């Protein structure tokens, strides 16, 4: 399986996938930290976090897969959402929370 197949499998078989630097417990850049905090604030039950620093093939491959040059990258139900700036904007206007609810990724109540 080539790296594009691995990435496609990750984003299509998990409701929420965040490609980031580090882990949710120990983000290794401010943008990744922001992305994790936004997802926590939305009440996301489960996120598959992929540490791009642990695998250079994934780190380069995700940029090619999305045609997006930066990390972090958020996927919801296989759809590329964007990086931390886009996540912040969507969080502030309520769009991100709605997407996460529609994906069944948020604890209600």
pLDDT tens per residue, range 3-24: 999 999 999 999 999 999 999 9
Asked if residue 82 is part of any domain, the answer here is yes
> What is the b/e burial string over 42-51, where b = at least 16 CB atoms within 10 angstroms of the residue's CB?
bebeebebbb
Which residue spans within 1-109 are E strands per DSSP? 16-20, 48-51, 73-76, 79-82
Spell out the residues 6+ positions from residue 15 whose beta carbon is closer than 8 angstroms to its own: 46, 76, 77, 103, 104, 105
pLDDT band at 1 (very low <50, low <70, confident <90, very high): confident
Indicate the number of domains in the chain: 1
- Domain span at 69: 3-102
For the entire predicted model, the pTM comes to 0.96
For residue 83, the domain's CATH number is: 3.40.30.10
Distance CA 12, CA 7 (A): 9
- Closest by CA position to 44, among listed 85, 1, 81: 81
Residue 29 is labelled as binding a ligand? yes
């Amino acid at each position: 399986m080539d790296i594009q197949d691995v990435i496609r499998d990750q984003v299509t078989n998990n409701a929420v996938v965040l490609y980031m630097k580090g882990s949710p417990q120990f983000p290794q850049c401010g943008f990744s930290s922001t992305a994790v905090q936004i997802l926590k604030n939305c009440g996301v039950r489960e996120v598959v976090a992929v540490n791009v620093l642990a695998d250079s093939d994934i780190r380069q491959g995700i940029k090619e897969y999305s045609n997006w040059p930066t990390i972090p990258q958020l996927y919801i139900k296989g759809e590329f959402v964007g990086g931390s700036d886009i996540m912040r904007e969507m969080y502030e206007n309520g769009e991100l929370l709605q997407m996460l609810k529609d994906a069944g990724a948020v604890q209600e109540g």
